[in-house]
A and B are shown apart, each in its own frame.
Chain A
Amino acid sequence: ETGVTQTPRHLVMGMTNKKSLKCEQHLGHNAMYWYKQSAKKPLELMFVYSLEERVENNSVPSRFSPECPNSSHLFLHLHTLQPEDSALYLCASSQDRGVGQPQHFGDGTRLSIL
């Protein structure tokens, strides 16, 4: 139990669907992150939120839309995805924003685009 919960664990969707991934952290952390991990590839940072404000968008296509309504919740809204978007999507949190801040990860959502 890492204190970071992601739902759903698995998601299959068509390219025209709209879905959302949810992340919730129970650690009282101020920073939250979305990562993408494709098969056999390193983690790619997508977005960083600090105190509910987006502070990093790592050149992510607009078909991915993050939302952070409060410091405990983070969403990733998906629409018009492509087959190459199939991957493991990981959420993480840390006390504050910083590479040296230990991050706590959820177990991810396995996304498959048909």
Chain B
Amino acid sequence: LAKTTQPISMDSYEGQEVNITCSHNNIATNDYITWYQQFPSQGPRFIIQGYKTKVTNEVASLFIPADRKSSTLSLPRVSLSDTAVYYCLVGARTSGSARQLTFGSGTQLTVLP
């Protein structure tokens, strides 16, 4: 099982770029890296997914080094509304036991004015 490790919390200021790193040292060949965002009293929202190198969408970028043992979610020019908990999940697209479907504690990002 690819266990993930993220910082518990991070603070940033409006307009800055924020990078949240997730470690997954025993990632498997078939595993993808998926990031979610959760606001209080709402369900998590899918942000971005990648397998290797770099992926970018209208919300964020995901950087994955060649060894794939970590990944970095990059949020450009954050605003107060980006204050949320961010989760990193690692797993294959074709299977997943209950133990793997573990969101963990995530990273609480607080954006300050």
Contact = CB atoms under 8 A, between A and B. Distances in A.
A105 B47 CA distance: 12
Nearest to B42: A107
A2 interface: yes
Nearest to B92: A100
Contacts of B102: 42, 45
B101 interface: yes
Size bracket of the A interface = 20 to 34
A91 to B, nearest CB: 8
A101 B105 CA distance: 20
B93 to A, nearest CB: 4
B18 interface: no
Given A33-B101, A43-B103, A48-B98, A99 B91 contact: yes
A88 B41 contact: yes
B73 to A, nearest CB: 15
B31 interface: yes
B90 interface: yes
A98 B36 CA distance: 15
A99 B103 contact: no
Interface string B34-46: 1010000111111
Nearest to A9: B41
B41 A100 contact: no
B5 to A, nearest CB: 14
A67 interface: no
Contacts of A96: 93-94
B44 A103 contact: yes
Interface of B: 30-32, 34, 36, 41-46, 49, 89-98, 100-106
Interface of A: 2, 4, 33, 42-43, 45, 48, 56, 58, 88, 90-92, 96-108, 110
12 contacts: A42-B105, A42-B106, A56-B97, A96-B94, A97-B96, A98-B95, A99-B34, A99-B96, A100-B93, A103-B36, A104-B46, A105-B45
Given A45-B98, A98-B94, A105-B45, 18 more contacts: A42-B106, A56-B101, A98-B92, A99-B31, A99-B92, A99-B96, A100-B34, A100-B49, A100-B91, A100-B92, A100-B94, A102-B49, A103-B36, A105-B42, A105-B43, A106-B43, A108-B42, A110-B41
